[in-house]
Structure 1
Amino acid sequence: MMRSARFPVSATLLRRLALASIIANVGIVVTGGAVRLTASGLGCPTWPRCTDASYTATAEMGIHGAIEFGNRLLTFAVGLITLATLLAVLLHQPRRRGLVPLAVAVFLGIPAQAVVGGITVLTNLNPWVVGLHFLASMAVIAAAYALWKRTMEPDGPTVAVVAAPLRHLARLTTLVGVAVLVIGTWVTGSGPHAGDHGAARNGLDPESISQVHADSVFLLIGLSVALVFAFRAVGATGPARAALVLVAVILGQGLIGFVQYFTHLPALLVGAHMLGSCLVLLATLSVQWSTRERRPVATPETAAEAVTDAPARPVSAAHS
């Protein structure tokens, strides 16, 4: 308590750091995609060193070494942001329940991601490990989003704002969204952007797995549209708005996906599609969060205020 009082952290600063953590983790996904799309995945051919003799890229390694090493340096920047967020959570008073585990999870996710990234290099960009690297980033982003939302909630019980069937539909939509991301990594592993000209592919037929991916996206769109109408039918304006945003994000992402497929996967569109994947995840989580809310715990003081502010009851004619 004494240390926290000496270094106070406001709720506003805490929220901004949590939001910065989300943005930084999305950014590292996009820059990681740039490494793969420029065939720089083995620009640093080993890990944790860049070469057997150096931790940094050398001039002889050219642009590919610079791009890969630059992405490794960005990992440290993201780690510093998540560390600052964790320290802010520890110093903020009063400390809200659940914030510390989330902040720790996000912070530890960065070195864990670095290890997975190292394994991708040591396995010569095995497509299944590359896919795991991407999905691990999605997990860190999900934890960072949960942390950010929690910084804006009071301590108290979680209360559903829509009926159970609609909450189940929202959970199903989230699961399908996760499946879309997983299948997307299979499509990537079968395509031409391997991260290095000599890297192996996963052996799946690109056309067939792309069709499976498209079908899963169509299912996700259908579920999301159903959520919009279902939420509106029961007057849940907040969840309906979140579901409408999800539909718009998926349609934009789907459009990018179709254009990149029929234009033979230009690197710029593939990079935009990776950013879109992060936005789809965040929009899906927003819908999930919109179906519930936390309400502050009633205290004797707030109960007394409620009684004081309550309107006076009319005196019945029988007692007049």
Structure 2
Amino acid sequence: MMRPARFPVSAALLRRLALASIIANVGIVVTGGAVRLTDSGLGCPTWPRCTDESYTATAEMGINGAIEFGNRLLTFAVGLIALATLVAVLLHRSRRRSLLPLAVAVFLGIPAQAVIGGITVLTNLNPWVVGLHFLASMAVIAAAYALWRRTKEPDGPTVAVVPAPLRTLAWLTTLVSVAVLVIGTWVTGSGPHAGDHGAARNGLDPESIAQVHADSVFLLIGLSVALVFAFRAVGATGAARAALVLLAVELGQGLIGFVQYLTHLPALLVGAHMLGSCLVLLATLSVQWSTRERRPAPASATSAGAATDAEAHPVAAAHS
């Protein structure tokens, strides 16, 4: 008996879809920022409908309604890319087991992020919920990045390429990077760009929390400089290169942050700063990935796995 034909999914297609998922999720963070920066956060005043009577924006709602509804539509586009990636993983039999958890996490993260976005509308843009919405997007981006990196690696054991103390330093840098993102949402919640003229602020003093944010950025930059020199000292050129890219992204992001603060937070610079936050996260994850590498499974383990499959499916094995 012949096996039914399967739709072929190449490793290159998997990588492209995973990369597209990263780009799409970064894009929706930027467009979500545009919603807030144009005071369109309540352009659709309810959720999941846009109004009590309609799922779509109406002409009477003006440009703010169109911007908010457009961002909601983009969620479906991001979800379709995540779905296509998930289907591709399911059809790519040799990588299904290793990639499926990450593909499912990215796919389920899209509706979860959308629900949090809906709650921000229902709570009249509560700044703490708005911050959670942003951080949920960061989590989806992290999962999408992990999926993309795994599509470029073989299935096999993970081996460290730097000493244990430097791996610890890399983890500490990652934790501080996450803390910078979290504190950044507090700064945003205390500032003028609330997403709507009537939206509440979180009550924190803008200057004080901005100083805390700046201090955390200085700490992150210091740790990144240490990583560059430490990786170079042990000859880990790939890790040193990743740390240098992270440092460059941090300096660029810091420059945008200081300029926007000194120029009273113009919307265009705030939007650029949101994009920079995504890039900082991606560069941080790249450093984390550079401290280890995954090598192909030993031939004996591969043979044992094949034998196990043959025992579990003797009929299929006989006709393959």
TM-score range, shorter chain: over 0.9
CA deviation vs aligned residue, 1:255-295 (integer Å, no higher than 9, x gap): 00000000000000000000000000000000000000111
Offset at residue 2 of structure 1 (A)? 5.0
Pairs within 5 Å for 1:16-31: 16-31=16-31
Unaligned runs of at least 5 residues, structure 2: 304-320
Tell me the equivalent position of 2:290. Answer: 290
Tell me the equivalent position of 2:11. Answer: 11
Tell me the equivalent position of 2:269. Answer: 269
Quote the Cα distance in structure 1 between the aligned partners of 2:69 and 2:301: 57
Give the direction of change, closer, same or farther, for the CA distance of 1:44–1:236 in structure 2 (3 Å limit): same
Unaligned runs of at least 5 residues, structure 1: 304-320
Tell me the equivalent position of 2:114. Answer: 114
Tell me the equivalent position of 1:307. Answer: none
Tell me the equivalent position of 2:139. Answer: 139
Structure 1 residue 253 corresponds to structure 2 residue 253? yes
Pairs within 5 Å for 1:143-154: 143-154=143-154
Give the direction of change, closer, same or farther, for the CA distance of 1:97–1:165 in structure 2 (3 Å limit): farther
- Asked whether the 8 Å contact 1:106–1:143 carries over to 2, the reply is yes
Structure 1 residue 197 corresponds to structure 2 residue 197? yes
AA of the residue aligned to 2:92: H
Quote the Cα distance in structure 1 between the aligned partners of 2:119 and 2:6: 42
Structure 1 residue 95 corresponds to structure 2 residue 69? no
Quote the Cα distance in structure 2 between the aligned partners of 1:182 and 1:300: 46
AA of the residue aligned to 2:109: G
AA of the residue aligned to 1:166: L
Quote the Cα distance in structure 2 between the aligned partners of 1:100 and 1:235: 34
Q: TM-score, normalised by structure 2?
A: 0.92
Q: TM-score, normalised by structure 1?
A: 0.92
CA deviation vs aligned residue, 1:206-227 (integer Å, no higher than 9, x gap): 0000000000000000000000
Matched residues, number: 302
Offset at residue 93 of structure 1 (A)? 3.1
CA deviation vs aligned residue, 1:31-81 (integer Å, no higher than 9, x gap): 000000000000000000000000000000000000000000000000000
AA of the residue aligned to 1:113: Q
Offset at residue 297 of structure 1 (A)? 1.1
- Asked whether the 8 Å contact 2:6–2:91 carries over to 1, the reply is no
AA of the residue aligned to 1:209: I
- Asked whether the 8 Å contact 2:166–2:230 carries over to 1, the reply is yes
Say which SS state the counterpart of residue 98 (structure 1) adopts.
helix
- Asked whether the 8 Å contact 2:119–2:129 carries over to 1, the reply is yes
Tell me the equivalent position of 1:314. Answer: none
Q: Percent identity?
A: 90
Tell me the equivalent position of 2:238. Answer: 238
Offset at residue 251 of structure 1 (A)? 0.1
CA RMSD of the aligned region, Å? Answer: 1.5
Quote the Cα distance in structure 1 between the aligned partners of 2:236 and 2:228: 9
